[in-house]
Structures are given as structure tokens and as C-alpha cells.
Amino acid sequence: MEIAGGCLCGGTRYILKTAPFSLGDCHCIDCRRSCGAPCVTWGSVRRKDLVLGGREPRKVAHAGRIRSFAACCGTHLFFEESADSGTIDITIASLDDPAAFAPQKVIWLEDRLPWVVIDQSLPAFPKSSAEREAKKNKAKKLKG
Ligand SMILES: [Zn+2]
Ligand SMILES: [Zn+2]
């Protein structure tokens, strides 16, 4: 399976070797600002399932996370919890055909803009989703 995506101008391209999972809308302030949009739909893939083509994206470290933007035209493409995280998040709207990848959850509702309408049929979380929190707690336990 190959799912292609890329930036606005076409200078940066990427391929996913598997379908993105953990699809969700993030309403956090950082996602909003970085995309200039009221919320951002993300999907995750294992790091090895993302293949970059064209120019190397520009990486911006902010709030302990790494966001990647197309160096050519600035499209926000990727999000990493850390440089060695097992998964990398993709902006679903940068896929050539995002239609099949509807969000399955809503996160960071705490930061939601009052005029954004939320799909009430989706599980929603005030901050990050439970599964992500669980992972973090597990990591903490392992560390210490
Ligand atoms: Zn571009
Ligand atoms: Zn966010």
C-alpha cells in the first residue's frame, strides 16, 4: 500500500507505506497557530512507514515537540513527540486524497474556539487522548 501526500507547491512529497491510524482533530493552540487553522486533523504512522521525497522539510522545535514544514512553501506536514518517537503524525489534509481518513476522535477540546462545531458522535478529550496519556504514564513508570 502506498498513500501519497505533499505540500502546497509540490516541492515536498511523501509516501505512507501503511494507512494512518489514531485519526483525530486537535484543537490545541500550537496546532492551530502552526497551521493557521481552527483545528488540525492528524493521523499517525510508524516512523519507518513514512518515506520522504523531494526537499527535506524544515523542522521547528516548539514546546518540546518537533513540527515539520515544507521548506519550499511552508505547508505543515509532520509532528513528532520527540526525535526518536516510534510514530510520526501526518497532517491528513496534506494527503493527495484525504477523503478516506475522517477523524475518529477530538482532542484538546479545552482550547477549542467557541465557534468551532464539534461532531458529537466522536469521543472527545479535554487534553490529549486517553491512549496517549496511558502511553506516557507507562513510559514514566518504566523510567522510574
Ligand atoms: Zn512546497
Ligand atoms: Zn495539537
CB-based contacts of 143: which residues, under 8 Å, 6+ apart? none
Kindly state which CATH superfamily the domain 3-143 is placed in.
Answer: glutathione-dependent formaldehyde- activating enzyme (gfa) (3.90.1590.10)
Do the Cβ atoms of 43 and 23 come closer than 8 Å? yes
- Helix, strand, or coil here: 40? strand
pTM of the prediction? 0.88
β-pairing verdict for 40-46 and 50-54:
unpaired
Percentage above 90 pLDDT, the chain: 86
> Residue 96 Cα, ligand 1 centroid: separation in angstroms?
13
Query: How far is residue 96's CA from residue 125's CA, in Å, rounded to a whole number?
Result: 28
Task: Looking at the CA of 54, name the nearest ligand.
Answer: 1
Residue type, 96: D
| pLDDT above 70: percentage of residues in the chain | 90
What separation in Å is there between the alpha carbon of 93 and the centre of ligand 1?
A: 14
Asked if residue 130 has pLDDT above 80, the reply is no
* Segment 14-53, tens digit of pLDDT: 999 999 999 999 999 999 999 999 999 999 999 999 999 9
Q: Which ligand is in closest contact with the Cα of 63?
A: 2
DSSP annotation of 93: G
Can you give the pLDDT at residue 129? 78
Classify residue 95 by its DSSP letter.
B
Distance (angstroms) between ligand 1 centre and the Cα of 8 equals: 5
Cα(35) to ligand 2 centroid in Å equals 10
The torsion angles phi and psi of 41, rounded to 5 degrees, stand at -90, 125
Ligand number with the minimum distance to the CA of 38: 2
Q: Where in the chain are the domains?
A: 3-143
